[in-house]
Structure 1
Amino acid sequence: MSDFKLNASVRNDLGKGASRRLRRANEQVPAIIYGGEQAPQPIAVDKTSFYKAIEDEAFFSSVINLTVDGKAQQVVVRDLQRHPYKPLVSHADFMRVDATHELTLNVPLHVIGEDASKAIKDQDGELHVLTSEVEISCLPKDLPEYLEIDISNVELGTTLHLSDLTVPAGVTLVALTHGEDHDNAIVSVTKAKVRAEAEEEGEEAAGEEAKGEEPKGEEAKGEGEGEGDTE
């Protein structure tokens, strides 16, 4: 779990206009903290450190140490509202973390072993990543930054599912708690499309050639029989 720290201040001037002024004049990002037994608290987060933090994938699956007006608390990111076409965040939602209660969060899925995969290197296999993140439930202390799936020994034509993931102690895959029907596919290794199409075309061409030779044989046979009858 990465050590992310952010500084913020209580925000008393609310509304869209106030948020806009906050972003432009004070170089801060409007946000809110909610959850737990405390009431939701509008805050303003330091823009420089916040934008640096969101460049790291682990930020979105880590417990963050957030200090508001000198008072420290732990939170996780719940939502970011982004500008429709500019690389800007207009608002952030943080949820308070209780060390004694499990939290549910999406964590990234990292595929490893592609360079060592014989199916990909020697058999022209193609990797298909079917999901980029996985929903888990765990105590804050057990929260992993990401989960890994190793495909180094996966055979061509194989599809791996959630149940194939090895998760750390204390971590539960939420989907699997709903039954086997929710054991979703996460990655697959199939024959590369271009090669598969080329082989299919080759087989079709061979079949057409074989069919084309048969009439010639029949025709030759017919000509031979005709000559025999004439004699």
Structure 2
Amino acid sequence: MKVIAFERSQQGTGASRRLRNSGKTPGIVYGASSEPQLIELDHNALWHALKKEVFHSSILDLEVAGKSQPVLLRDVQYHPFRQIVLHVDFQRVDPNKKLHTKVPLHFMNQESNPAVKLSSAVISHVLNEIEIECLPGALPEFLEVDLAKIEAGQTMHAKDIVLPAGVALTAHVESENPVIASATIPAGAVADEAAGTPAAAGEGEATPAA
């Protein structure tokens, strides 16, 4: 995904305010053993790009002054109540160094899960993203989580995710192995089932003679 930015010379609160008033958003590019570079981006284009999942989880082609460089979006600051992006941070990517970054989880086959269809189970997504490490060339846009076989009362953990070649969970995620999804039977469904059991057992019983 290509991102166009422009060099920025002025910094400080006043300069950033003037920049935002002109429809621009201040930002910075850092990392890869190079000096940080101040940039500015068109606010409306940036706002629409930020709505796309791929913008947050993929390596971006950032062009500044006619020169392109691979970067990752690392931080976004929003106005607390107005639809304004206050500042963005990008990190340069070294193709030979592993990245530590978060990628989205896409949950698959939930509707066809037998526990959902037959037992009224509810599957909750506990995490919507997970932290991984890999070389830039192996970075996936997202990871798929297959919910086809999770049963009521069960949970899925980070280590249950099928990872692409060259991709690994970061060390702390590997050790903690957090829950990413769980399947439960709602209390109402349990109560209905329990209430129906005695009635079913009593059906067909003879009426005592008078």
Q: TM-score, normalised by structure 1?
A: 0.81
Partner residue of 1:63 out of 26, 47, 59 = 59
Deviation at 1:68, TM superposition (A): 0.6
Residue 43 of structure 2 contacts residue 85 of structure 2 at CA under 8 Å; is this kept in 1?
A: no
In structure 2, give the amino acid aligned to 1:164: D
Partner residue of 2:184 out of 186, 190, 201 = 190
CA deviations over 1:181-206 (Å, ceiling 9, x no partner):
x1111101111232124445x38x96
How far apart in 1 are the matches of 2:172 and 2:15?
A: 44
Partner residue of 2:12 out of 5, 11, 15 = 15
Structure 2 unaligned spans of 5+: 199-210
Map of 2:3 onto structure 1? 6
Residue 131 of structure 2 contacts residue 173 of structure 2 at CA under 8 Å; is this kept in 1?
A: no
How far apart in 2 are the matches of 1:86 and 1:197?
A: 45
Partner residue of 2:158 out of 154, 157, 162 = 162
Deviation at 1:20, TM superposition (A): 1.2
Map of 2:26 onto structure 1? 30
Map of 1:229 onto structure 2? none
Map of 1:136 onto structure 2? 132
How far apart in 2 are the matches of 1:10 and 1:22?
A: 12
Partner residue of 2:112 out of 108, 112, 116 = 116
Deviation at 1:33, TM superposition (A): 0.4
How far apart in 1 are the matches of 2:62 and 2:109?
A: 36
Partner residue of 1:147 out of 143, 148, 153 = 143
Q: CA RMSD in A?
A: 1.7
2:90 matches 1:72: no
Residue 163 of structure 1 contacts residue 176 of structure 1 at CA under 8 Å; is this kept in 2?
A: no
Structure with the higher helix share, 1 or 2: 1
How far apart in 2 are the matches of 1:177 and 1:146?
A: 17
CA deviations over 1:202-230 (Å, ceiling 9, x no partner):
38x96xxxxxxxxxxxxxxxxxxxxxxxx
Q: Any idea what SS the aligned residue of 2:34 has?
A: coil
Residue 175 of structure 1 contacts residue 183 of structure 1 at CA under 8 Å; is this kept in 2?
A: no
